């Protein structure tokens, strides 16, 4: 493998992909994961201790998980074995375990690197437990999915999870510089296009090097691409986004919180990100309705109408015209006054209903369709509010065993400012009439 930092050692041989030829030879050479591989990084400390323990590497594609696993095996003198959960089953695991046992009898341990480990089912994951416990293997699993959901608790309890980060712009530009040194030629890009290339890679080191190779193949002699030319040559990579996994949940969380935080520009950005990645606009429409109810509520009762109208408009127009209606709703919700008072009031009422049991309402407000019920006092002394001054009788509506409760506490914002005035006025009348 190539030493990225010694030009004299750069490997220019063979048809191997650029990303493979640029693999680091030490942990310190790994780009973008300084929190793990830097001087005080978690992995650096483990290597210094001489003992790894089993590990789970969690992070996006192209962030160095496989490379780091290979380097670790060399650093602590373990035999290296690699399998992919996509192509392997129990029979393959047994063969690797037997090989590791044989190596162990010879006095050497084995680091087993399992790519896409989240693809294994529960039974396959359980097969690792005994060989991890008896030291037959040191497991290093790599996953792009959240281990909390993708792996079982038994495996996670025996392994430490280390998070790999998407490569930032500086790390990607560093890789491009090393690629140019290796190839002994500059990328045919303007400075602006060079930055755009790093953005196109979406935090993926392997991708940025693959794109660089595509550019060198596509460029004519002395041709230099600007941003528009770059986009034309490489088209664009699909955003890293799995509609059933972390990408989906991360972006919908960001959209919800930016609307709640009254930042319409950030909200539009995450809305556009999700659409660009192929999210179903109907899902976004449903979530906008929920946001209108949960985070705006009675502070602006029109918010729910806007969100529902946007959803209906999308159904009538489809894409792409209908998406503008959803964008309008995003802006309306983000700029509306916020209140979760109704949401919190509902939750409090649910708790009280569950805790109180089957309490009878006051007989005063119950109908008395039979003679017996009238004799029992049902409906007696009921005050018809429309006949009372201000259309407010102030009578008691609460079960005697529970007493009056206060669930809804509207803030001094938006339309709820008016609601608060009404509630305070009715409370004043209630005190005056001696309830």
| Measured CA distances, 150 to 132, 133, 167, 266 (Å) | 19, 21, 23, 30
Taking the model in full, what pTM does it have? 0.63
Question: Mean pLDDT over residues 71-100, rounded?
Answer: 92
Residues 295-308 pLDDT 10s: 999 999 999 999 99
Section 350-378 average pLDDT: 86
* pLDDT value, residue 3: 39
Average pLDDT over residues 240-254: 70
Q: What is the DSSP letter of 295?
A: I
H runs (alpha helix) in 117-159: 122-126, 128-133, 147-150, 153-156
State the average pLDDT for the chain. 88
**Distance, CA of 238 to CA of 257 (rounded, Å):** 25
d(CA 198, CA 175): 10
- Residue 78: DSSP 8-state: -
What is the pLDDT at residue 12? 44
Interacting residues of 20 by C-beta distance below 8 A, sequence separation 6+? none
Q: Look up tokens 């063979």; give the residue.
A: 14
Confidence check: pLDDT of 248 > 90: no
Provide, rounded to the nearest whole percent, the portion of the chain with pLDDT above 90: 57
pLDDT of 242: 55
Its CATH class, for the domain covering 33-163, is alpha beta
Decide: helix, strand or coil at residue 100: helix
Which segment, 229-243, 245-259, 275-289, 327-341, is predicted with the most confidence on average?
Answer: 327-341
Long-range (24+ apart) CB contacts under 8 A made by 270-278 are: 271/326, 271/327, 271/330, 273/239, 274/241, 274/248, 275/323, 276/239, 277/238, 277/239, 277/241, 277/243, 277/247, 277/251, 278/238, 278/241, 278/243
Lookup: tokens for 177: 């510089």
3-state secondary structure of 141: strand
Asked if the model's pLDDT at residue 176 lies above 90, the reply is: yes
Q: Is the pLDDT of residue 7 over 60?
A: no
**Which of 227-241, 267-281, 341-355, 397-411 is predicted least confidently?**
227-241
pLDDT of 5: 36
CA distance 333 to 259: 6
Q: Give the whole-number percent of the chain exceeding pLDDT 70.
A: 93
Residue corresponding to tokens 């556009």: 272
Under the banding of pLDDT at 50, 70 and 90, the label for residue 435 is low
Separation CA 148–CA 141 (nearest Å): 14
| Level-2 CATH architecture, domain 360-432 | Orthogonal Bundle (1.10)
Query: Is CATH 1.20.272.10 the classification given to domain 248-335?
Result: yes
pLDDT attached to residue 407: 93
Domain boundaries in the chain?
A: 33-163, 248-335, 360-432
Long-range contacts of 197-200 (CB under 8 A, 24+ apart): 197/230, 197/234, 198/169, 198/172, 198/173, 199/169, 200/230, 200/234, 200/236, 200/237
Compute, in degrees rounded to 10, the torsion defined by CA atoms 179, 185, 191, 193. Answer: -70
Which carries the bigger pLDDT value, residue 190 or residue 250? 190
Q: What is the pLDDT of residue 239?
A: 56
Q: How confident is the model at residue 201 (pLDDT cuts 50, 70, 90)?
A: confident
- Are residues 337 and 414 in contact, defined by beta-carbon separation less than 8 angstroms? yes
Determine contact, residues 57/140, Cβ cutoff 8 Å: yes
* CA-to-CA separations, 144 to 204, 247, 328, 348, in angstroms, rounded: 12, 10, 34, 39
Higher pLDDT, 15 or 165: 165
Q: Please choose, from the candidates 399, 398, 404, 367, the residue with its C-alpha nearest in 3D space to the C-alpha of residue 382.
A: 367
Q: What is the pLDDT of residue 73?
A: 92
By the 8 A CB rule, do 24 and 4 touch? yes
């Amino acid at each position: 493998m190539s030493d990225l930092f010694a030009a004299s050692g750069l490997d220019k041989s063979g048809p191997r992909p650029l990303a493979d030829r640029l693999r680091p030879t030490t942990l310190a050479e790994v780009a973008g994961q300084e929190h793990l591989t830097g001087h005080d990084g978690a992995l650096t400390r483990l290597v210094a201790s001489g003992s790894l323990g089993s590990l789970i590497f969690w992070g996006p594609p192209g962030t160095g998980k496989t490379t780091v696993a290979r380097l670790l095996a060399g650093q602590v003198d373990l035999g290296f074995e690699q399998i992919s959960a996509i192509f392997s089953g129990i029979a393959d695991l047994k063969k690797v375990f037997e090989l590791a046992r044989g190596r162990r009898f010879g006095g050497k341990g084995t680091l087993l690197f399992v790519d896409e480990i989240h693809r294994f089912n529960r039974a396959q994951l359980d097969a690792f437990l005994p060989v991890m416990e008896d030291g037959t293997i040191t497991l290093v699993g790599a996953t792009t999915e959240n281990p909390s959901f993708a792996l079982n608790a038994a495996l996670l309890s025996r392994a430490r999870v280390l998070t790999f980060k998407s490569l930032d712009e500086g790390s990607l530009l560093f890789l491009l510089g090393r690629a140019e040194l290796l190839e002994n030629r500059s990328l045919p890009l303007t400075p602006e296009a060079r930055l755009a290339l790093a953005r196109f890679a979406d935090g993926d080191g392997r991708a940025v090097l693959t794109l660089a190779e595509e550019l060198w193949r596509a460029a004519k002699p002395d041709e230099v691409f600007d941003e528009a030319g770059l986009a034309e040559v490489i088209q664009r990579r699909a955003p890293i986004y799995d509609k059933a996994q972390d990408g989906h949940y991360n972006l919908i969380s960001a959209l919800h919180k930016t609307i709640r935080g009254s930042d319409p520009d950030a909200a539009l950005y995450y809305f556009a990100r999700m659409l660009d990645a192929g999210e179903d606009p109907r899902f976004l429409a449903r979530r906008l309705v929920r946001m209108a109810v949960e985070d705006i509520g009675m502070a602006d009762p029109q918010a729910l109408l806007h969100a529902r109208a946007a959803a209906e408009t999308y159904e009538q127009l489809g894409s792409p015209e209908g998406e503008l209606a959803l964008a309008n709703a995003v802006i309306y919700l983000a700029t509306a006054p916020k209140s979760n008072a109704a949401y919190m009031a509902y939750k409090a009422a649910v708790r009280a209903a569950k805790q109180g049991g089957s309490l009878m309402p006051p007989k005063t407000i119950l109908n008395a369709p039979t003679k017996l019920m009238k004799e029992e006092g049902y409906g007696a002394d009921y005050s018809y509010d429309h006949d009372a001054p201000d259309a407010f009788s102030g009578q008691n509506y609460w079960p005697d065993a529970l007493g009056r409760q206060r669930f809804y506490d509207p803030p001094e914002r938006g339309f709820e400012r008016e609601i608060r005035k009404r509630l305070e006025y009715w409370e004043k009348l209630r005190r005056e009439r001696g309830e």
